[in-house]
Amino acid sequence: MADPAAVQNRVPEPWAGADGEIAEEEYEEEEEEELDERAAAALEREKVQSVFRRLSSDLVGIRVHDVIIRGNAKTREELIEAEVADLLRSTTTVQDLLSAAADASARLRGLDVFEAVNITLDAGPPELPGTTNVIIEVVEPAIPISGNAGVFSKPEAKAWSLEGAVKWKNLAGYADIWDASVAYGWDQTTEEFDVRGALPFGFWNAALNVGVGAGVVLPLARGFMNSSTPVTDRFNLGGHSSPVCSLGGISSLLGFRTRGVGPTEARRLVPGESEDGSAAVPGRDYLGGDLAVSAFADLSFDLPLKVFRDAGIHGHAFLTAGNLVKLSEGQYKNFSLDEFRRSFRSSAGVGIILPTKLFRVEVNYCYILKQSQHDSGKTGIQFSFSSPS
């Protein structure tokens, strides 16, 4: 006979009775759910690995059904389409599409008007198997205006200046960039204004870059119109650097020597004759100007050969123009707006651009359209080295 105390103190097992059966069933269900989750995760990993194995070994055909653009509240949709739509639609395999998506993202970031660019691939319509929709999401800056200011010293002129710059991006929605800068010194003030824009086209990866810059230097001392400005503070025109890659302000004038445009004066002639006995002819020094205006238009485009396109080598046609005059030392009395307009120097040409990681090389043929008597301009081949754009 069983001990009553032992029977009284016996604790039922968790699965004993009806309650125990329910607890056992719940435990088994939890185990089954955990196993199902593990199996699903393993199956998903296997699918992903299978996709990667297939992409690495075989070309997977695909066709872009649509390019969907989101987030462009300000930027024109046709601008984004012109930059990347043809690049994406021309792909025929998944591998090519992934590479094209990376290139498209780099192109859009290169416009310098987006904070972020994300490109994802989504399945196309069910009735069109083997297709995909490319979704481009751009993030535009909440505040498109930026600026900076600082105090700078000029040891060579023994002067200090307060300088500031303002940049407004994408004002018209075409990836245009507006720049304005101003500098205030103790003895003179310099004001510069620069407007630049880029308009892409839907063929040959072509884009038109345009820019207009202007600047003026005026001494602030008493009787400033009759005083002189330091040569180091004056504007100069000319140079071989690309106007597209210049940092702003007065752009270069291709085809003209650096500091080879504008007012000049004869150098002092040292008494004596030349070696052949003829009278020595003095050279001329370029003085620069207190008022300068420059403008450029540059049309870049892909070259027809694929080997050039793959290397990033492309062509361009350009037109540059500019002028500068002295206003100080009483020269403002002789200033005529109509004469200033008529005496604009200009050049045009075509060239090939070779981009590298370190710098941008341009081989240009420059044709001088107009120059003044003492300008140093020359029609012919010109090499240009600029920072990468």
Output the pLDDT for position 71: 96
Distance CA 332, CA 232 (A): 20
Residue type at position 113: V
Q: What is the CA radius of gyration of the chain?
A: 35
* Predicted confidence (pLDDT) at residue 247 exceeds the cutoff of 80: no
CA–CA separation, 21 and 254 (whole Å): 92
| Mean pLDDT, residues 315-343 taken together | 89
pLDDT tier for residue 15 given thresholds of 50, 70 and 90: very low
- pLDDT score at 12: 47
Question: Is pLDDT above 80 for 296?
Answer: yes
d(CA 96, CA 286): 55
pLDDT given at position 11: 44
* Higher pLDDT pick, 7 / 179: 179
Higher pLDDT, 137 or 33: 137
- Better pLDDT: 334 or 33: 334
Kindly tell me if the per-residue pLDDT of 149 is higher than 50: yes
Mean pLDDT of 36-58: 70
DSSP lists the bridge partners of residue 195 as 178, 212
- Determine the residue type at 346: S
* Mean pLDDT, residues 39-43 taken together: 77
76-116: per-residue pLDDT in tens?
998 899 889 989 999 999 989 999 999 999 989 988 899 99
Domain boundaries, the chain: 19-57, 63-139, 145-266+283-386
Gap between the Cα atoms of 325 and 347, Å rounded: 19
Q: What's residue 14's pLDDT?
A: 46
pLDDT score of 297: 94
Predicted pLDDT at 151:
83
Rounded CA separation 10/23 (Å): 19
Q: Is the per-residue pLDDT at 22 higher than 70?
A: no
Is residue 312 pLDDT above 70, yes or no? Answer: yes
Tokens 């060239």 correspond to what residue?
Answer: 351
Between 209 and 284, the more confident residue is: 209
Residue 223 has what pLDDT? 62
Q: How confident is the model at residue 161 (pLDDT cuts 50, 70, 90)?
A: confident
Residue 347's Cα: distance from chain center in Å? Answer: 25
Per-residue pLDDT, averaged over 284-311, amounts to 88
Task: Judge whether residue 278 has pLDDT over 80.
Answer: no
Measured from the Cβ of residue 383, the count of other Cβ atoms closer than 10 Å reads: 10
Half-sphere exposure of 43 (CA within 13 A, CB side): 6
Percent of the chain with pLDDT over 90: 31
Name which of 35-39, 100-104, 171-175 the model is least confident about: 35-39
Measure the CA angle with vertex 373, ends 371 and 375; round to 5°: 60
**Fold for the domain defined by 63-139:** Ubiquitin-like (UB roll) (3.10.20)
Average pLDDT, the chain: 80
pLDDT winner (highest mean) among 197-211, 228-242, 324-338, 357-371: 357-371
Judge whether residue 45 has pLDDT over 80.
Answer: no
3-state SS track over the chain: CCCHHHHHHCCCCCCCHHHHHHHHHHHHHHHHHHHHHHHHHHHHHHHHHHHHHHHHHCCCECEEEEEEEECCCCCCHHHHHHHHHHHHHCCCEHHHHHHHHHHHHHHHHHCCCCCEEEEEEEECCCCCCCEEEEEEEEECCCCCEEEEEEEEEECCCCEEEEEEEEEEECCCCCCCEEEEEEEEECCEEEEEEEEEEEEECCCCCCEEEEEEEEEEEEECCCCHHHCCCCHHHCECECCCCCCCCCCCCCCCCCCECCCCECCEEECCCCCCECCCCCECCCCEEECCECEEEEEEEEEEEECCCHHHHHHCCEEEEEEEEEEEECCCCCHHHHCCHHHHHHCCEEEEEEEEEEECCCCEEEEEEEEEEECCCCCCECCEEEEEEECCC
The whole-number pLDDT of residue 330 equals 79
- Fold classification of 145-266+283-386 (topology level): Porin (2.40.160)
